[in-house]
Amino acid sequence: MTISHLLSARAARNVHVVRATRSAKLSAVVLAAAAAVLAALPFLVFSTVTDTLINLFVLIALASMWNLLAGFGGLVSVGQQAYIGIGAYSLVALADLGVQPYLAVPLAALTCAVFALPTSWLAFRLRGDYFAVGTWVIAEVYRLLVVRVDSLGGASGKSLSGLSGIDATLRGALTYWIALALALATIAGCYLLLRGRLGLSLMAVRDEETAAASAGIDVRRAKLLVYLVSAAGCGAAGGVITLSSLSVNPDSIFSVQWSAYMIFIVVIGGIGFIEGPLIGALIFFALQQLLADFGSWYLVLLGVVGIVAALRLPRGLWGLVPGPSLFPIGYLVRRSDGPA
């Protein structure tokens, strides 16, 4: 197009666009080193430590998926436990069919994406608060359906088969590595997704849906994609939870508590930042460990922290951190006209 050429030629001369700053590259190296140390832990520490860390990795993965959905896609769901549950049950069912449970984790993710597609037709008819409540209802419906299936253990749940042949220490280490890989994959996945053209469209949709459509964005498709990715991520997390607990119980795996955790973590960590779920999960995990002996006071304190964070820190803890992002997804324009 002539106008486009006319305009671009004028601008291209003295402008360049930067994506990643030097400090961001440094932080990537630090993160990679941290991941390497974490990967070596099963050789260095007792399995009680690594077993606890599995919990942290699952929380990071779940919170990242919720942040992607709500913080970048603008889809505030209270029903992602639907996919945690479906993922967990898929793993159990696949193991029953003879699939190696560790290899069944990605298949559980895929199964969730398949379930998420028709579910989205229903959920996307609702907006805002109604979407939130609707997703919760959908999760409950999935729980009620699962409970009706006798081969899945009904209301009492089912234990995971196919791992009895593996030594307990090795099993713990394998589960740990898979949980670590899941946490890293969700963070890297969010980063790569958001850094691309699709990520920019998503953020535009989140900020202004009508204007996004006028910008040429297929709003429905963008939302659907982020919904499917989030479902798959939560499904994989559900699979890892089951690998770790070796059984699945419908009431706990489909519990709305998972959504409460995800929201809490993302809100205190910083919604709309890739770093948010990471920081939030670390804090939540620390609180869990520190306050575990305080019984119901643990929940009270957690509630207080959540309320204070929501009131005082609308952008979460990461919102307080000045300086460049660890995961730069934006564009920085540098102009070199005038005396440099």
Task: Compare residues 16 and 148 and give the one whose CB is closer to another protein.
Answer: 16
How far is residue 161's CA from residue 87's CA, in Å, rounded to a whole number? 15
Per 3-state DSSP, the chain is made up of helix, strand and coil in percentages (nearest 5) of: 75, 5, 20
CA 245 remoteness from chain centre: 20
Binding site for another protein (CB under 8 A): 1-4, 6-12, 15, 17, 197, 200-201, 203-204, 206-208, 210-219, 272, 330-333, 335
Smallest separation (angstroms) from another protein to the CB of 238 = 31
Nearer to another protein, 18 or 117 (CB): 18
State in angstroms the smallest separation of the CB of 6 from another protein. 6
CB of 215 to another protein, least distance (A): 4
Angle between helices 257-269 and 296-312 (to 10 degrees): 40
Give the number of other CB atoms < 10 A from CB of residue 121: 9
What is the SS3 assignment for 327? coil
Q: Least Å distance between CB 313 and another protein?
A: 17
DSSP-derived pairing of the beta strands 15-18 and 158-159: unpaired
CB of 118 to another protein, least distance (A): 21
Cβ proximity to another protein, 2 vs 151, nearer residue: 2
Angle at 240 between CA 79 and CA 63, to 5 degrees: 45
β 158-159/247-248 pair status: antiparallel
Whichever of 8 and 169 has its CB closer to another protein, that residue is 8
- Closer residue to another protein in complex, CB, 106/272: 272
State the DSSP code for 15: E
Q: Which is nearer to another protein, 15 or 133 (CB)?
A: 15
Minimum separation from the CB atom of position 219 to another protein (A): 7
